[in-house]
Structure 1
Amino acid sequence: MRQENEEGRNLKKPFLQTGSWYRISGRSSSLFGSTQAIRDSSISVIACVIIVALGPIQFGFTAGYTSPTQSAIITDLGLSVSEFSLFGSLSNVGAMVGAIASGQIAEYVGRKGSLMIASIPNIIGWLFISFAKDSSFLYMGRLLEGFGVGIISYTVPIYIAEISPQNLRGSLVSVNQLSVTIGIMLAYLLGLFVEWRFLAILGIIPCTLLIPGLFFIPESPRWLAKMGMTEEFERSLQVLRGFETDISVEVNEIKASVASANRRNTVRFSELKQRRYWLPLMIGIGLLVLQQLSGINAVLFYSSTIFQNAGINSSDVATFGVGAVQVLATILTLWLADKSGRRLLLIVSSSAMALSLLVVSISFYLKEYISPDSDLYATLSLVSVAGVVVMVIAFSLGLGAMPWIIMSEILPINIKGLAGSFATLANWFFSWLVTLTANLLLDWSSGGTFTIYTAVCVFTAGFVAIWVPETKGKTLEEIQQFFR
């Protein structure tokens, strides 16, 4: 951190100064003749989103890594199933630590500085896993990965929401979830062809590319405004909206929102009883917890084991198919997020997940009473696989991306750092709980496991219908006014 005395005030400076390529003012616009495309508002924002999306790709690669490597790592290092389950869940433990720190780091050093800090432990963690000779290095690497992922999972949707125009915000924040699914699919695909140590080396690539990319994008204008850096705030917003765009209205809205929030920099615990605080907190935390309790990480982390239990011989290929389907479904979400709205997508998504999980549960229950050599057994195996695929599609259409979008939109700016950290921590805690217990529950009863996840999805649909407001088409400032 650097501090300068400017107009009698000590102002915080971003950990990474915003990119120098756009610093020349409109008077020198002729120098940009060869980069006219950069000046278009959408292209400017989209370029920033593409760069920071490397972080969620790293997130997804971490999540998908355990599925194709389970058998090989257990064999090479002599681990038990419970030890490997611990390895898989440790990324969530690290992510919980990262989540605790994420909000304060993002507030203190900026969104870009936060992503830079998150990239380093990710790279080191993958190296630890790649060169592991025993479980201790394996566990340490997984914890370091998780720490970085915990910061990334909070910072990226917040950054994208803060730089996006209101008519594109839903679609652009959905890129966060799309990138996660791409990372999962890449882990599944590459895991078919390379051994687990080299696969860990490949996991370094996203963050290695992210670090230099951060030097070419602007810092979040809303964070700059909150820090009192008016000149840099307006410059950042101008490049995001285009040099020829009149940003005066948006500048005034952001300044008014920041001024309102800064009248009380700290919020007393007793004040959290106010509707403007407790309702967005409940909604944000509730959605992120229910997202994990739906069992999606149990499916993604251990999909090969689930397909083996279903009687599918080519379980790794089926796992890659699930990853590919998830990417395609999430691409559709980019279009739907700002068309049909967040609330409707959540209700449809959780309801469809409940139905598909119920089908999977019934299939596993019936197979306990049928001979493995019968045609009906083979049919039920295909039905259970189809149910898992439908569940993943339904998750990708709503429950995957929408909780992160809504969390980044509804948290009040003066408690966003602390509240966002707590919401992300809750998400990762339940992710760890689900991941740790998934193998044990599947060994206990596959049908019973999916019955539990079915009940959670039914509850989620009711929670959304009662409590979650529609935020489509509203500015962040309008959303905050609604809760007031």
Structure 2
Amino acid sequence: MTHHVEKKVLPLWRIPAMRQTYVILGPMSLIFSAGVFMGTSTVMMPQLKKDDSDIYVSESMSAWLYSVNGIGSMPTVLLVPYISQWKGYKLTFVLICLPVIIAFILHLFATNAVHLLIAGLCQGVTMGGNISLGIISITEYAEPRLRSFFLVMKSASFFWGIWTGNIIGTFSYWRNIPLLGIWPALFALFSCIIWPEGPYWLASVGRIEECKKSFVWLRGPENDKDELAAIIKNQTKNSDNSGKSNLVSKIKKSAVCRQFYMPFAVNCVLYSLYQFSGKIVMTVYALVIIEDITKSESTAYAGMLLIDGVTVVGMYIGSYVAMNVRRRNMFLITSAVTIFFLYVLCLYLSLVAYDVVTQNNVVSLTLLVLYTFAVSWGPMVLSTSFTSEIAPMRFKAFIVAVGSCVFWGLQTANLRLAPILMANVGMHGSFGIYGTFTLLFWIYLYKYLPETNNKTLQELELCFVKDKDKRKMDDVIEN
């Protein structure tokens, strides 16, 4: 006689993947709002320069409005990881939601350029805080098989927001953009009411029973007991050790630990490749770049929206592919293709600049689209995923804080200097410089970037530790 075991069907809200998705929707909605705000600058500046504009913006102020969000983000990325370790993720997330809401209100009622500048600084605060806290929370709340998918989707949400802002600004006045952009930020603000605190954080502050409940709430009753035991053991040990030495002593011991300085160096190089692959400059200055190449304003707007769409589609394709292949190989291959198209653009635009060939709008836009697709579904979608995964838990706050500060410092400098670079070496020279920088960073990452696919955070902590150094590392931790 055959006995059939009846499988229990859980309500939708009880399914662990749905609960994890709900938690991650908070940071994703917030980064979408930040993207909408950033997309505003691209379409707002040409409208403000028209004679009938209600706000006067000088050329120098215009350059600052493009890049000021990076300045607002740098203090936040240093503070947020430590505030979250002190007070937990829920309160910290509420604090970083508020500035972008204020930024949208300022945009809606701005009467001068100073209001726009302050709004940009506020948006930078949210961007910097969400980059830091979003990375930490996703790596803690999501299980390994979903973690990279969520990280990739979070990155895609930012560019989806930029595309949305650009669409609204292309077909209507820029003040209409805040009317949409503020709502996802408000959802993010109220969504965290029913979050549990992160199990890693709860274990690190000694709240073990709450840690177990949080882990079960996120992963379900049939969760991985070994992973929970490892979380409690590792985080409790790290918490105990934190009281045995002062901050200066801890920094000195960390600085000579390969498990600290190697992932930190890799993170900085990943951030550098992200910035100097040229995609952020291409996104923010899309209208300027495409109009300079094609000499047509209508083509510039159409090309901007096309490239924004290709960016979003490429990132979603990348998020799917990344779940089914070795992500390190995917990153290196797509980065190499990105370098190829940067040099192709450099060569083609050089031939146009020296009147060897005649500029053709179809050829120019095709090359820009191919470059955009290559950089979007590889480097742009995987760089931030790697940086969040390879930072060891006991160093994560410091690595994420300083690494994010490097990220925003590079972005501010990149966006501020881009007009100067394009004016002095032309579009062809700019693409060549970005290609060379990307190639140098690629060589370093080819040697040191580890594979992270389907590995737990505990397994990833061992990626940068040589066998002969494991005993030394343990001594450093214990002392």
TM-score by length of 1: 0.88
1:329 to 300, 304, 314: 314
Q: Does 1:430 align with 2:410?
A: yes
Q: Does 1:366 align with 2:343?
A: no
**Residue ranges of structure 2 left out of the alignment (5+ in a row):** 1-7, 466-479
Give the residue type in structure 2 aligned to 1:275: R
Tell me, in whole angstroms, the C-alpha distance in 2 between the residues paired with 1:272 and 1:164.
29
Superposed, 1:260-409 pairs within 5 Å as 260-265=237-242, 266=247, 267-311=250-294, 312=296, 313-370=298-355, 377-379=358-360, 381-409=361-389
Give the residue type in structure 1 aligned to 2:254: E
SS at match of 2:358: helix
**Residue ranges of structure 1 left out of the alignment (5+ in a row):** 1-32
Superposed, 1:138-287 pairs within 5 Å as 138-242=116-220, 244-265=221-242, 266=247, 267-287=250-270
SS at match of 1:126: helix
- Deviations 1:204-231, CA, capped at 9 Å, x for gaps: 2221111111113322211221122212
Alignment match, 1:9: none
- Deviations 1:329-359, CA, capped at 9 Å, x for gaps: 1111222223222311221122111111112
Alignment match, 2:34: 59
Mapped contact 2:342–2:435 kept (Cα < 8 A): yes
Tell me, in whole angstroms, the C-alpha distance in 2 between the residues paired with 1:405 and 1:416.
14
Mapped contact 2:37–2:104 kept (Cα < 8 A): no
Which region of structure 1 is more displaced relative to structure 2, 169-178 or 261-270? 261-270
Length, aligned pairs only? 446
- Deviations 1:137-178, CA, capped at 9 Å, x for gaps: 111111111111110111112211111111222112111111
Query: Percent identity over the alignment?
Result: 22
Mapped contact 2:272–2:441 kept (Cα < 8 A): no
Q: 1:34 deviation in Å?
A: 11
Mapped contact 2:99–2:126 kept (Cα < 8 A): yes
Alignment match, 1:457: 438
Q: 1:301 deviation in Å?
A: 0.3
Q: Does 1:40 align with 2:15?
A: yes
Mapped contact 2:392–2:460 kept (Cα < 8 A): no
Q: 1:391 deviation in Å?
A: 2.2
SS at match of 1:218: coil
SS at match of 1:123: helix
Which region of structure 1 is more displaced relative to structure 2, 213-222 or 88-97? 213-222
Tell me, in whole angstroms, the C-alpha distance in 2 between the residues paired with 1:93 and 1:118.
15
Mapped contact 1:357–1:387 kept (Cα < 8 A): no
- Deviations 1:85-125, CA, capped at 9 Å, x for gaps: 11111011111122122211222222232221111111112
Tell me, in whole angstroms, the C-alpha distance in 2 between the residues paired with 1:329 and 1:136.
36
TM-score by length of 2: 0.88
Q: 1:270 deviation in Å?
A: 4.5
SS at match of 1:450: helix
Mapped contact 1:290–1:456 kept (Cα < 8 A): yes
Give the residue type in structure 1 aligned to 2:389: E
Tell me, in whole angstroms, the C-alpha distance in 2 between the residues paired with 1:194 and 1:405.
35
Give the residue type in structure 1 aligned to 2:165: A
Alignment match, 1:443: 423
Cα RMSD over matched residues? Answer: 2.0
SS at match of 1:168: helix
| 158 and 395 in structure 1: CA distance in 2 versus 1, 3 angstrom threshold | farther
SS at match of 2:443: helix
